[in-house]
Amino acid sequence: MTEHHPGPAIRRSWRRLALALLAGTGLTAMAEGARAATPGNAMVMAWNIDAISTFDPAQIGEVVTSELLQNTCDSLVAFDPKDESKLVPALAERWEVSPDKQQITFHLRDSLAFPSGAKATAQDLAWSMARVVKLGFGNSATLTEYGFTKDTVEQRITAPDERTLVMKLDKPYPVNLVLQAVAANRVATLLDRQTVMKHEVNGDLGNKYLATHTECVGPYHLRQWNAGESVVLEANPKYWGPAPKLKRIIIRHVAEAGTQRLLLEKGDVDVARDLTPEDMQAIEKMPGITLSRTLKPQIVYWGFNNANPIFAKEKVRLAMRYLIDYEGLGKTVMAYNGVPRASFAQLGAFGALDEKEGQPFKLDLEKAKQLLTEAGLPDGFEATMIFGTLPYAAPIAQHIQQNAAKIGVRIKLEQMANAQLFARHRGREFETAMLAWQTSVPDAHGNASRQIYNPDNRAEAKLTQYPSWRHSFQDEKANKMVQAALLEQDEDKRAEMYHELQRDMMQRGPTAIMFQSIMLAGVRNTLKNWTWNGFAAYYDLASKE
């Protein structure tokens, strides 16, 4: 038995006093240190920027870096900040189209210079565009699709002088589409050839160097990137256009949505990009903060593998669409994530059906059951749905599973990491899959050319960049319509062709398209003119009081 002698460990009162004073001083000093606000000449943004892995325009493919490059690397032309379906001059101040519509001549501005002060020329631009094709990353498809291959790109994209760039097309594509898809895209950014080639390693055309640098003509340039920590852009003093109103853009990597909300509420950031629906609901009512929203050119869909005999039946695929409560989900799970959309062409795109006609479905279990009976499956069937980790994926999957069970369709749900989901989808290793797909053009052709058109359905063709191939979907009639619409010169006729294709594909297509995503950001009212659309965010227009 141990004997206890309780008694105060520290008796002397001066010690207590000293400790209290020390603690008090520390807290006061820290509270002083804790005072913060965003600098007046900078925009501070909280964003999950984990996905950044490079700043090479030839390689980047995800949302964050695309947006950063749009603000550091101008393209030949740009999307109008007020209307994304319109194009405005950027590096090129004007352009001409040949009568046969197979040649576009761009006239570059006279005052183009890199942040280093070196003059930027059309030769640099032609080299930059050829570089994208030669490197062969995913972005090269943007150019190869319009006939610029490794063998032809140097002949088809030329610079007869310092200010003229000529693009020769292999077919008379709609000019507006070429401008949107190629000229306004990151594949038409102007790189500082000399600087980039100075850092070439093993013939990589500066790919390694550009992983951490931007050597472009744009309103800002990359000053600092600490992976998983922050990105800092600084205004380019040599910029040809109006000088950006804010000198610095500071993007702080904040992965946790709750933390982003606190930072925004306290005024430690001006913009928060990854808030949850609950946060947005609360923020909508807060003084001093505005919720800014814009439609994204991304569709969320439930795709069916047509190699599976069950899903090869058009009526089965159609029946699945009637299992989705578009309206109910749109008001609940997707309230801050997307708008109901069943057509492959996103709202805002050329040739897209309007909101009403582009979403004619509603939850109708009887109709679904009837379609299954007509397809010869009155007792239903069993299938697996794979889906990723997007916050809304699991609730939608469960919603479909419950509705499907009511008509005898037993859906097994399998959730996995997104990287694994993409690998399974690319490899055709699925029965049904829920994913999102983003197009790079405000034109119905963007999704028609990937979601519907499939030039070769053989397994060995491995056309993994085509979701249509991944779904083993090839329809001769649809293929012809996509091709015909692409080369139709009359705009009204072309739009009508897409309308017809959308109506057809909503009935027979390989996927049940469910939503078009929306982007939301919490913006403090001290930041003025936060401007964005589905294709770009314009940091150079933002200002502060």
Window contacting other proteins (CB under 8 A); options: 21-29, 318-326, 343-351, 523-531: 21-29
Within 149-208, which residues bind other proteins (CB under 8 A)? 208
Residue 509 and residue 496: Cα distance in Å, rounded? Answer: 18
Closest CA to 514 of 419, 430, 436, 449: 436
Look at strands 382-387 and 410-415 and give their pairing: parallel
250 versus 318: smaller Cβ distance to other proteins: 250
Q: How far is the CB of 537 from other proteins (least distance, A)?
A: 19
Taking phi over 0 as left and psi of -120 to 50 as alpha, with beta for the rest, 304 belongs to: beta
Does 86 bind other proteins (CB under 8 A)? Our answer is no
* 138 in contact with other proteins (CB under 8 A): yes
Assign 337 to helix, strand or coil.
coil
**Residue 38 touching other proteins (CB under 8 A):** yes
Decide: 257 and 279 in contact? Cβ < 8 Å.
yes
- Residue 68: CB partners within 8 Å, gap ≥ 6? 52, 55, 222, 231, 233, 251
Residue with tokens 């990287």: 419
Site for other proteins in 251-280 (CB under 8 A): 252-256, 258-259, 262-263, 265-266, 268
Distances in whole angstroms, Cα of residue 158 to Cα of each of 26, 139, 148: 66, 20, 12
Which residues ranging from 41 to 80 are in contact with other proteins (CB under 8 A)? 42, 44, 46, 50, 52-54, 59, 61-62
Q: What is the Cα Rg of the chain in Å?
A: 27
If binding is defined by CB under 8 A, does position 14 make contact with other proteins?
Answer: no
Kindly tell me which residue out of 63, 211, 307, 541 binds other proteins, with binding defined by CB under 8 A: 211
Q: How far apart are CA 57 and CA 182, in angstroms?
A: 13
Q: Sort residue 409 into left (φ over 0), alpha (ψ -120 to 50) or beta.
A: beta
Q: Min. distance of Cβ 216 from other proteins in angstroms?
A: 17
**279-287 contact pairs (CB < 8 A, 24+):** 279/522, 280/336, 280/520, 280/522, 281/336, 283/522
Q: Which CB, 30 or 366, lies closer to other proteins?
A: 30
Does 226 contact other proteins by CB under 8 A?
A: yes
Specify the stretch interacting with other proteins by CB under 8 A; choose among 117-125, 310-318, 373-381, 422-430: 422-430
Q: Find out whether 147 and 191 touch, Cβ atoms under 8 Å.
A: no
Q: Residue 188: which of 441, 482, 444 has the closest Cα?
A: 441
Q: Tell me the closest approach of the beta carbon of residue 359 to other proteins, in angstroms.
A: 25
* 6: contact with other proteins by CB under 8 A: yes
- State the minimum distance, in angstroms, from the CB of residue 57 to other proteins: 13
Question: Which x/- pattern, by CB under 8 A, does the window 312-351 give for other proteins?
Answer: ----------------------------------------
CA–CA separation, 59 and 39 (whole Å): 33
Among 22, 88, 227, 487, binds other proteins (CB under 8 A): 227
Binding characters for other proteins, 434-473, by CB under 8 A (x = yes): ----------------------------xxxx--------
Contact between 307 and other proteins per CB under 8 A: no
Q: Which is nearer to other proteins, 45 or 334 (CB)?
A: 45
Q: Is 306 left (phi over 0), alpha (psi -120 to 50) or beta?
A: alpha
CB of 538 to other proteins, least distance (A): 22
Residue from the set 32, 151, 379, 545 that interacts with other proteins by CB under 8 A: 32
Closest to other proteins by CB, 146 or 422: 422
Q: In the β-sheet with 103-108, what is the strand arrangement from edge to edge?
A: 92-97, 103-108, 164-168, 157-161
Residue from 85, 139, 343, 432 touching other proteins (CB under 8 A): that is 139
User: Smallest distance, Å, CB 21 to other proteins?
Assistant: 16
- The bridge status of strand 42-47 relative to strand 248-253 is parallel
| Residues shown for the chain | 545
Residue 23 DSSP one-character state = H
| CB-nearer residue toward other proteins: 326 or 466 | 466
Residues forming the site for other proteins (CB under 8 A): 2-7, 9, 26-27, 29-39, 42, 44, 46, 50, 52-54, 59, 61-62, 136-141, 208, 211-212, 226-230, 250, 252-256, 258-259, 262-263, 265-266, 268, 417, 419-420, 422-423, 426, 462-465
